[in-house]
Amino acid sequence: MKLITAVFQPYRIDDVKEALTGLGVAGLTVTEVSGHGAQKGHSEVYRGSEYQVEFRPKIRVDVVVADADLETALEAVASAARTGKIGDGKIWATDLVEVLRVRTGERGEAAI
């Protein structure tokens, strides 16, 4: 089992959700986060004063998939989140040792 974590532009969440749902992914966790990558923030002007915005708003999605579904899920998320502009985000996958469904006690891939 793998945990896929994706951080991307907030307005792409509906496309990412639809892409994952189309693959049969039953659940995902969405978190509003902020950070920066290569763009390292930008300057803005508010009421005549210039200030530096270091962190950009992003969305973080965590989803658990079976090992066999990893590549398909990665590509689906990447293509749904991609705009082709700086700040598109990052996606990474990590190994999961165990998954437990709290309600039923199911473990492993049965709990996904």
pLDDT tens for each residue of 80-108: 999 998 889 999 999 999 999 999 999 99
Q: Give the pLDDT of residue 104.
A: 95
Give the span between the Cα atoms of 8 and 61, in whole angstroms.
9
Give the span between the Cα atoms of 21 and 70, in whole angstroms.
14
Q: Give the pLDDT of residue 71.
A: 97
CA-based max dimension of the chain: 58
Q: How far is CA 9 from CA 66, 103, 107, in A?
A: 26, 33, 33
- CATH number corresponding to 2-111: 3.30.70.120
Q: Give the pLDDT of residue 42.
A: 64
- Regions of the chain short of the pLDDT cut 50: none
Give the Cβ contact number of residue 60 at 10 Å. Answer: 16
Mean pLDDT for the chain overall = 91
Q: How far is CA 80 from CA 21, 64, 108, in A?
A: 12, 18, 28
